[in-house]
């Protein structure tokens, strides 16, 4: 496999997508060491001068006024990691943990954290050895950073806690030994630098961003297929309409629809029909999906900055020799981004569900009721639409903003928190819900296209239809529906399907 070489502070969204979805070895561009060693030297100099440095020779949070003796500095960092590993819940996926470790390594390599190079190297070694710390998903409020989950990640560096290797769970010490690695003894500030930071919430949000991008693209294909299946008009996609408004996301989505709908026999068959306007779920797709695209683009910008930023505390400015306490660990930007992304994910699914409802309604679609012959004997897509409605309804509740919630922690020292980790984590079930809805729309729209035969839809949509029909046959009578939904999910996830929309629509592709 080709190594993915990351430049700290300049990692691209495309590289982050590759990190999140792949298993390539990871390396850092060689220029990182000088800044790291400079900040490490600055910490040593300030400690030698006997200064009080937060979290380096003092306690933490409310205990920051307690000075720690020089011979207990390593113990302070060890105890910090152990005490903060207090997470609960289902462990994060290995792919998420891999991304978290890569983000943490890239952040530490910026040279503002006062750690030894070996800490960064060890994170990369764990990634490349396929050692994934077992990180419970719950326990972070998104300030001071993702303390509990990052502590669980850090346990693996010191040979404590549990990890997964190749899907098998084992003790960290055993995994390190098998990989030929020694447990680290943490130096001054290293535990704090590992635990402080927004890498968990950012990784979760990035994964959801990439899912949202793919779902938006898939929904353009299924939405366009629904237009043809329902004999919808092409007029709402006319470039002049969208240029008159000027919203860039809307304009881009309308162009994507024109591309995938081009050269359809079905369209030509009803050019002189008497229908004046289509329902909004067909006609307003560029407006709704375009707004979703704009949210996705804004979220991508915020997360790209955060993924490249430094979010631990205190920060060490090696050239000046300064150690400054601040609040970059507060994940409010990530929380806001995740809340906004929730809107885009929910609305992508909500509009697709409305199109499914339109297709099964013979008075609107001019297709057989519930998309099946011999209705009554057959129920067709009746309950598949109910499932889509249930998923869309769940997403409405999950879309409630998490960032407006805050509970004080650490005896009111940390008196406002972001809830970014939950804000990002809840995006994953939301994306899965929307994935199910879009998959059901693909099934319904393909069935509608089949009812228009012998007429052909556009070349792009014929390709989409053919991809589905490889694994899901036409519904000539009722059958077990759930396996077909799962098959359709796999279709909309595939690159063959997603590449039917011209490239460049979403930020990371």
Please, are residues 388 and 353 in contact by the beta-carbon 8 Å criterion?
Answer: yes
Active site residue 54: yes
| Placement of tokens 């930020």 in the chain | 507
Catalytic residue of the set 54, 79, 112, 280: 54
Tokens of 406: 């805050």
Q: Give dist(CA 202, CA 307) in Å, integer.
A: 7
User: Which stretches within 30-113 are classed as H helix?
Assistant: 33-48, 73-84, 94-108
Interacting residues of 118 by C-beta distance below 8 A, sequence separation 6+: 184
Q: How many CB atoms lie within 10 A of CB 274?
A: 5
Please, are residues 153 and 132 in contact by the beta-carbon 8 Å criterion?
Answer: no
Tokens of 489: 């999910």
Tokens of 344: 């885009």
Virtual CA dihedral for 58, 59, 60, 62, nearest 10 degrees?
-110
Please, are residues 144 and 414 in contact by the beta-carbon 8 Å criterion?
Answer: yes
Residue 229, SS3 per DSSP: helix
Respond yes or no on whether the N-terminal peptide bond of residue 144 is cis (omega within 30° of 0). yes
Respond yes or no on whether the N-terminal peptide bond of residue 454 is cis (omega within 30° of 0). yes
Q: What share of the chain is helix, strand, coil (3-state, %, to 5)?
A: 60, 5, 35
Q: Give dist(CA 443, CA 436) in Å, integer.
A: 11
Evaluated on CA atoms 270, 273, 279, 285, the torsion sign reads positive
Residues catalogued as catalytic: 54
């Amino acid at each position: 496999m080709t190594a993915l070489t990351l430049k700290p502070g300049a990692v691209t969204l495309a590289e982050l997508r590759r990190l999140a979805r792949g298993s390539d070895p990871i390396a850092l561009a060689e220029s990182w060491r000088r800044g790291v060693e400079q900040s490490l030297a600055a910490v040593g100099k300030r400690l030698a001068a006997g200064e009080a440095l937060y979290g380096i020779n003092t306690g933490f949070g409310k205990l920051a006024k307690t000075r720690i003796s020089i011979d207990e500095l390593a113990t302070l960092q060890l105890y910090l990691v152990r005490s903060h590993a207090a997470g609960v819940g289902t462990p994060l996926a290995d792919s998420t943990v891999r991304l978290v470790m890569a983000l943490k390594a890239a952040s530490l390599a910026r040279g503002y954290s006062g750690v030894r190079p070996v800490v960064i190297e060890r994170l990369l070694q764990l990634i490349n050895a396929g050692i994934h710390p077992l990180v419970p998903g719950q326990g972070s409020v998104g300030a001071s950073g993702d303390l509990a989950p990052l502590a669980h990640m850090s346990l693996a560096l010191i040979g404590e806690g549990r990890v997964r290797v190749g899907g098998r769970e084992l003790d960290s010490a055993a995994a390190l030994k098998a990989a030929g690695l020694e447990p680290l003894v943490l130096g001054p500030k290293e535990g704090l630098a590992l635990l402080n930071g927004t890498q968990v919430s950012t990784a979760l949000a990035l994964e959801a961003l990439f899912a949202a991008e793919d779902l938006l693209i898939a929904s353009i294909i299924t939405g366009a297929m629904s237009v043809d299946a329902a004999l919808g008009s092409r007029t709402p996609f006319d470039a002049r309409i969208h240029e008159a408004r000027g919203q860039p996301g809307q304009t881009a989505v309308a162009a994507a629809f024109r591309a995938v709908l081009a050269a359809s026999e079905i369209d030509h068959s009803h050019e002189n029909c008497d229908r004046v306007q289509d329902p909004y779920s067909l006609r307003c797709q560029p407006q709704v999906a375009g707004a979703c695209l704009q949210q996705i683009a804004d979220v991508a910008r915020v997360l790209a900055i955060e993924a490249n930023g430094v979010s631990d505390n205190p920060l060490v400015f090696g050239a000046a020799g300064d150690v400054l306490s601040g609040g970059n660990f507060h994940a409010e930007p990530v929380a806001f981004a995740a809340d906004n992304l929730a809107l885009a994910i929910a609305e992508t699914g909500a509009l697709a569900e409305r199109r499914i409802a339109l297709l099964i309604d013979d008075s609107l679609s001019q297709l057989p009721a519930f998309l099946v012959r011999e209705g009554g004997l057959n129920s067709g897509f009746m309950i598949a639409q109910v499932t889509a409605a249930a998923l869309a309804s769940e997403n409405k509740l999950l879309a409630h903003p998490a960032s407006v919630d805050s509970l004080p922690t650490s005896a009111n020292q940390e008196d406002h928190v972001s809830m970014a980790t939950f804000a990002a984590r809840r995006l994953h079930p939301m994306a899965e819900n929307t994935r199910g809805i879009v998959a059901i729309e693909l099934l319904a729209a393909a069935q509608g296209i089949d009812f228009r035969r012998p007429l052909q839809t556009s070349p792009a949509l014929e390709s989409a239809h053919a991809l589905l029909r490889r694994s899901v046959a036409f519904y000539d009578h009722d059958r077990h529906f759930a396996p077909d939904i799962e098959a359709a999910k796999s279709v909309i996830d595939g690159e063959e399907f997603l590449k039917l929309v011209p490239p460049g629509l979403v930020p990371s592709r």
